[in-house]
Amino acid sequence: MTTETIPLEFEGGHVLLNLGGVRTFLDTGSQFSFGDVPSLRLLGRDHPIQPDLLGQATIASLRSGLQSHTPLPRSAVFDALVGLDVLRGTTLEFNWSAKELRVTASSQHSNGSAVPHLPMGTIEVNGKTVTAALDTGAWRSYLVPELAEEVPRTGAFEDYNPILGVLRPELVRTRTVFLGQEQTLDLGVAPPRLAELIRTMGASVLVGNDLMSHVPRLTMEIF
């Protein structure tokens, strides 16, 4: 079974990797990889990637949006985004304290669909267990509005999505239990278009790196 251990950087709530000498943004919320290079090397293979995201975003526009509207520092430069098309058929094991990502070729390579699926899990939100989509491209986690109807707002923040653009969601103080880790923190209330995408995935929560980075050893499978 092929395995590769890759150094992991955590910059402003975002995950950056070095794939074959290319500094790369890790995004399990993106079905497609793209960048300023023709391919990304992973598990001994060169994977061709597109120069942009469906004609709607380039690496330059993604960097600019994230650096302007999220905590990603200006010094955090990357030249590609790796998404589910390249990661499909792998198991990802995050060791945050060691700053390492272990990638293993999985014995199960497909979900039977032509489109790879976001990794899924469950999370307890204010005492209610719901389905969650795990998105390493998100620095902050989001709830669909119906989970936040009676929860007091604590403020608002700015975020950026390469398809949806600049977001300015409200924040709600939320008690969560995710993979045994209990936390109380401010989560975003998903705006209408993002909420619809989350529901389309069969989930009620989009778990971002604010929650995932508190799980000492996090494992996810990409089908």
Q: Cβ distance 144 to 190 under 8 Å?
A: yes
DSSP string, 4-52: EEEEEEEETTEEEEEETTEEEEE-TT-S--EESSSEEEETTEEEE-BSS
> Which pLDDT belongs to residue 116?
80
- Locate the domains of the chain by residue range: 3-105, 120-215
Helix extents (H) in 30-171: 59-69, 84-87
Beta-carbon contacts of 114 under 8 Å, excluding residues fewer than 6 positions away, are none
Whether residue 188 is predicted with pLDDT greater than 90 in this model: the reply is: yes
Band of the pLDDT at 24, cuts 50, 70, 90?
A: very high
Which is it for strands 90-95 and 217-222: parallel, antiparallel or unpaired? antiparallel
Q: What is the pLDDT of residues 101-152, one digit of tens each?
A: 999 998 655 545 566 889 999 999 999 999 999 999 999 999 999 999 989 9
For 71, counting Cβ atoms within 10 Å of its Cβ (0-12 exposed, 13-18 middle, 19+ buried), the class is: middle
Kindly report the pTM of this predicted structure: 0.95
Rounded alpha-carbon distances, angstroms, from residue 204 to 45, 173, 187, 212: 35, 16, 13, 16
Q: Cβ distance 127 to 175 under 8 Å?
A: yes
Beta-carbon contacts of 64 under 8 Å, excluding residues fewer than 6 positions away, are none
- Residue with the two structure tokens 């590609």: 80
Q: What is the pLDDT of residues 210-219, one digit of tens each?
A: 999 999 999 9
CATH superfamily of 120-215: Acid Proteases (2.40.70.10)
* One-letter amino acid for residue 105 of the chain: A
> Which pLDDT belongs to residue 108?
59
Question: Quick one: how many helices (H) and strands (E) in the chain?
Answer: 4, 19
> Which pLDDT belongs to residue 106?
84
